[in-house]
Structure 1
Amino acid sequence: MQVQRSSITSDILGRYYTNSYVGAILVSSMGAISPESVLDLGAGDGVLTAAAAKIWQDATYYTVDIDENARSASLPKLLGSSFRHHVGDALSSAIEKELGLNLGCADLAICNPPYIRHQWRKGFASILEDAGLSHVLPKLADMPAEILFIAQNLRFLRKHGRLGLIVPDGVIAGERFAGLRNALATEHCIERVIELPRGIFRKTEAKAHILVMSKSGEGPDEILVQRLDESGVLSPELKIRREQATGRLDYSFLARGMGNKRTKQTRIGDVTISLSRGSFSSSQRTKCDFPVLHTTDLGPAVDVVSRKFCMPSALAKQGQFNLAKPGDILVGRVGRNFEEKVCIVKSGTVAVSDCIFILRVAPEHRDSVFAYLKSSPGREALSFSSHGVGAKFLTIDALRNILFKSK
C-alpha cells in the first residue's frame, strides 16, 4: 500500500495533520490491550481517535483541541456518547477538571503534538515536574510543545498506562534531546520507535517517528526500532537495549551502523584534526567585499573549490575569520540535498558561510574520507546522520560519528 500524503501542511498552530494510514500503524503498534479510557490531546482532525475506535470499540474517548472548528469536535455527534470532546488548551494545568478525567486514570493516550514553542507559562513547570521531565533540558523555558505534550499525557496516564505519539525527528535523533530519551527509557519505558518516511506531511520534508511507551520504569529491556517505507511496508525490527536510548533511535542511522560492523570501519572523528563551521551568516555574506562560499555554490558536480573563491592574501593573514585552507574538506550541513554538497580546497584560502562545515583530517586519511563522502554510500551516510523537522541538518557530532573504510 502506498502511503498517501496529507492534504494539509502545518497551520498557524504548528499542527501537522496525521495521515490516516499512519494513524492505523500507530494504533496497531500499541499492542494487545483493552483500554477503558483513551485520551487524545490536540486531537485535530480526530484521525488517531478514529483509528483507535476501530480497535477498542468499548472504550470511552476524551478528545481536546484548542480550535473550536477542529473536526474532532464532531466525534461525539458522529460516533456517540462514548466520545467526549473539550474545546480548550490541552496544556492547561487544570485541564482534568474541564475534561472530566482525573490525572493518573487514563489507560491509554494517543497524540500528534504541534511542532511549535509556546510562550512560557508558570503552569508548564508543574506539568513537567509531575511527569518527571523538568530536568531534560537546561532551561525550563526552552521546552518545546512536544515535550510539554508528552509530560501532560504522562500526567493523565495510570501506572503502566500506554502512550503512542507522533514526534519530530529531534526527539528521537537530536543530541539536544538525549536527556529526554534517557528519562523516557529509564524512568518510564520506551517500547517501540517507527521511523516515518520524509514527505508524510504534504509540502514539507518534515521527518517524524511513532513513539510507543508506557508509564513507569518497568517493561521490556529492549526497544524495538523499525522504519515504514513509502510503500507502507514495515522493516524488520532492530533491538536496542534501553540504556542505549540516550543515543539515536532512528532506524536509518542504527541500521547503517549495524551493517558497518561487518567490515572494519573508522570514525571520521578519529582522524579529524579540527571540525568547525564557517564564520559568515547569510546576511553577513552579502555585505562582504570578498567572496564567501555558500551551499548554493556547491553541488554533486563540484569536487574542488573554484579559485574565484580564494580570499585576498592580505585579508587572510589578518586571522579574523575561520577560513578553509588547502586540504580542507567542505561539507554542507543544512538544507535539501546538503549531502551532495561536498568539495575540497586545493589552493588558496577560502571564506565559507556558517552553512558549511570545515573538516580538516589527518593527511594520510584525507583522500579516503573525501572519496567516501563524495560516493553514493557516503551521501547516504550524511543523509541518514541528519535530522530535523523541516530542513535537514547535520551536527558536528553526527559528522564525527560517520564511519568510512580507511586504507
Structure 2
Amino acid sequence: MQLLRLPKTSDHFGRYYTAQEIAGLLIQTMSLEKPKTVIDLGVGDGALIREASLIWSDARFITVDIDKNTKHRLPLHISPSLLEHHVGDALEYALDKKLGVSFGTIDSAVCNPPYLRPKWRKHFNSILEEANLHSILPKFGCIPAEVLFIAQNLRLLKVGGKLGLIIPDGIIAGEKFATLRQALATTHRIERIIELPRRIFRNTDAKAHIMVLSKNISADETIQIQQLLPDGQLSSAILLPTEKASSRLDYSYLATNKSTRDKSDGLKLRDITLALKRGTFSSAERKTNELNILHTTDFTSDRLTVPKKFSSKRTLVKDAKFVVAQNGDILIARVGRNFNEKIWRVTSGPTIITDCILLLRVHPTYADRVFNYLTSSIGRSNLMSIAHGVGARFITTEGLLDLKI
C-alpha cells in the first residue's frame, strides 16, 4: 500500500495497537453467539482475534496483514486448523480470490484499521460502490484508510453479518464524515457506539470509539451510544434517533449538549453570532511580519482580556484585507492541547490575529452572557467536548456555532 501521510505516533503501517481490555469489550459488544467465520483485515498484533477466540472458540479465523512479521505475533492458542493468515494488502479489489472466500459470505468481522491516507487507486471507487458507500465520494479529495477498510469488510460480510470496529473520532464526529455516518446508519445499521477514553493506544492521545454495524439490515429507530468510564464501567445509554446520525455520534458531545439543553433556554450560539472568522496570518508569517499579531502562545491564564500591547493603531488597520478583531469581540484559540483555556475579550483596540485564533462577534445583547459562559468551567468543558484531533486538539466553526449557552 503506497502511503501519502502517516500519523507520527503510529508504526510504519499507520497502526495503533489495541489494548487487550478494549479488544474484549469490542467482542462482547458485538453480542454474537457462535459465528462460523471471523475475519480481521489488518490484524496487527492479533489483540482482537485473541479475545474473539476466547469467546468464539469454534469459529474459523481468517486474518490479513501487509506486514510479513505479523504471523509471529498471532495467538498461539488457536488451533492451526482454525486460523488462516494471509500476508498482503487488505485493500486489494480481488481480495476474495486471495482469501479463497466469496464476497458476501462471511458471518462476522473485527477490525482496528490503520490511520493513514493511501494513494488513490481506481478500484477504491468500486470498493466503496459495492459497499453502498459511493455517496460519500464528493466529500473527499482522497479516502482515509479507515473508510476503505469499513467498505472492504462490508463487501466480505453476508447480509446481516456483523462488523465490530475501533475507529477514530473524526469518523464519529467530524463534519466531513456526515454523509458516511448517514450511509452507515441507513443503508446498513449502526447498532451501538462506545466512546473510549483518550490514551487507549500506546504513545498517542488519539480518541477512538467502538462501533458495531450490521450489513444491509433495516435501521432501528435509535442508535445506542455509551461511554467507557475511567473505572471500566459503561455509562448509561443515550438513544439517538437514527435520522440524526449525520450530525455527531460521540457520547461526550451528546451528553454535554443534552445537559446544556436541559439547563438553558436552548439558545444556540449560531442564532446570535454576527461574525465568526479565522485569523489571516500563519504562525510563521507572524514571526517575519512587522505587524503586531496575536498568537495562541501569547495567551496567559492570569487575565481574560487582550493586553494593550497587542492593540494596533486604527489608521494601520483601516480598510485592511486581513482579519482584525474589534472591541467587544471574543478571541478563542482554535487549536492546541489546552485551547479551551485560551479565551480573551478585546477591550483596548483593534487586534490582529493568527489563523490559530477564532474571532467571535455576537449580538451586543448577548455579549456578556456568551463570554461568561465560554470562560466558565462548564463552557470550557463543553468546548473540549466538541474538539477533534490527536495531541493538538482543534475545534471547527460549525462545532462552535452549535453550542448552546
TM-score if structure 2 supplies the norm length?
0.94
| Identity percentage of aligned residues | 49
Q: Contact 1:37–1:106 (CA<8 Å) still a contact in 2?
A: yes
Matched position secondary structure for 2:117? coil
In structure 2, the residue matched to 1:326 is: 327
Matched position secondary structure for 1:194? strand
Distance 1:134 1:72 in 2: 37
In structure 2, the residue matched to 1:3 is: none
In structure 2, the residue matched to 1:400 is: 401
Query: Bigger CA drift: 266-275 or 8-17?
Result: 8-17
In structure 2, the residue matched to 1:184 is: 184
Q: Contact 1:293–1:352 (CA<8 Å) still a contact in 2?
A: yes
1:86 maps to 2:76: no
Distance 1:268 1:285 in 2: 30
Q: Contact 1:199–1:207 (CA<8 Å) still a contact in 2?
A: yes
**Structure 2 vs 1, CA of residues 191 and 72 (structure 1 numbering), >3 Å: closer, same or farther?**
farther
In structure 2, the residue matched to 1:280 is: 281
Alignment of 1:4-403 (within 5 A): 9-70=9-70, 74-75=74-75, 79-138=79-138, 141-265=141-265, 266-403=267-404
Q: CA deviation at 1:93?
A: 0.7
What are the superposed Cα offsets for residues 130-167 of structure 1, whole Å, 9 maximum, x if unpaired?
Answer: 10112214156521111100000000000000001011
Q: Contact 2:178–2:247 (CA<8 Å) still a contact in 1?
A: yes
Q: Contact 1:170–1:389 (CA<8 Å) still a contact in 2?
A: no
Matched position secondary structure for 1:165? strand
Matched position secondary structure for 1:403? coil
Distance 1:168 1:72 in 2: 27
Q: Contact 1:75–1:83 (CA<8 Å) still a contact in 2?
A: no
Matched position secondary structure for 1:381? helix
Q: CA deviation at 1:75?
A: 4.0
Q: CA deviation at 1:385?
A: 1.2
Q: Contact 1:169–1:389 (CA<8 Å) still a contact in 2?
A: no
In structure 1, the residue matched to 2:4 is: none
Q: Which amino acid aligns with 1:30?
A: M
Q: Which amino acid aligns with 1:350?
A: T
- How many residues of Structure 1 are paired with residues of Structure 2 in the alignment? 397
- Ranges of 4+ aligned residues in structure 1 off by more than 3 Å: 71-79
What are the superposed Cα offsets for residues 99-136 of structure 1, whole Å, 9 maximum, x if unpaired?
Answer: 12211011001000111100011121111111011221
* Unaligned residue ranges in structure 2 (runs of 5+): 1-7
Q: Which amino acid aligns with 2:244?
A: Q
Alignment RMSD (CA, Å): 1.6
Q: Contact 1:226–1:237 (CA<8 Å) still a contact in 2?
A: yes
Q: CA deviation at 1:290?
A: 1.6
What are the superposed Cα offsets for residues 322-344 of structure 1, whole Å, 9 maximum, x if unpaired?
Answer: 11111000011111011111010
Matched position secondary structure for 2:123? helix
In structure 2, the residue matched to 1:4 is: none
What are the superposed Cα offsets for residues 65-87 of structure 1, whole Å, 9 maximum, x if unpaired?
Answer: 00011256644786422010001
Query: Bigger CA drift: 86-95 or 293-302?
Result: 293-302
Q: Contact 1:125–1:140 (CA<8 Å) still a contact in 2?
A: no
Distance 1:395 1:295 in 2: 16
What are the superposed Cα offsets for residues 48-74 of structure 1, whole Å, 9 maximum, x if unpaired?
Answer: 011111111111000000001125664
